[in-house]
Amino acid sequence: MKSPDVRWHPHSLDRLTRAQLKGQQGRVLWFTGLSGAGKSTIANLAERTLWGMGRHTMMLDGDNLRHGLNRDLGFTDIDRVENVRRVAEVARLMVDAGLIVLVALISPFRADRALARQRFEPGEFIEIHVDVPLALAEARDPKGLYRKARGGLIRQMTGIDSPYEAPERPELLLDTSVLGAEAAAQRVVDLVRAQGASRGVISQ
């Protein structure tokens, strides 16, 4: 429970000032999808392209965060909710700093992603559904997780014994059963450029 003695401290520099220094609008690109869909691969490729364009970026990968910030969390529904909440809060701080933040996180529940969206100003949260049929994700199985789940070695595997709720109206849908990683990443970059150009902040 938050103490009544904890109060918000105003800062002299606001998010607009920080973003203007970088020549871009801070935003979060939230990649959601099954394990093996290609979220991290596509986000990494998109970030490299944005970096090459002179954009200021930061990638938050779900697995990497579980080595540090979220190392105390498991995979129960409650822990998954907290996992998304923490990542959203970190991403918001980075967006406040004017960064383009690429989040690669299964984030299986619609309600949690909706709460994450609420932490941002309108237009700052871009939900990207990296879609793939479960059978293809299992065939890829880059981490061997599906094989372990089918063998009963791990539980609460998204898509097996824990549900994945696909976005109903994502800003971008990437079907990686027909779209390669490079092409998918380019669609992400094109979306960022189009949205930035509409605000007059990204010209490259």
Terminal alpha carbon distance of the chain: 46
Contact 162, 108 (CB under 8 A): yes
Q: DSSP string spanning 9-29?
A: PP-SS-HHHHHHHHTS--EEE
Q: Residues with Cβ < 8 Å from 32, sequence gap 6 or more?
A: 39, 105, 106, 107, 108, 113, 127, 128, 129, 130, 167, 170
Q: Are strands 125-131 and 100-104 parallel, antiparallel or unpaired?
A: unpaired
Q: Is 198 an annotated catalytic residue?
A: no
State the sign of the Cα–Cα–Cα–Cα dihedral 176, 143, 92, 169. Answer: positive
Q: Catalytic one among 12, 35, 40, 107?
A: 107
State the sign of the Cα–Cα–Cα–Cα dihedral 143, 64, 68, 87. Answer: negative
Question: Minimal CA–CA distance to 99: which of 49, 29, 200, 32?
Answer: 29
Q: Active-site residue numbers?
A: 107
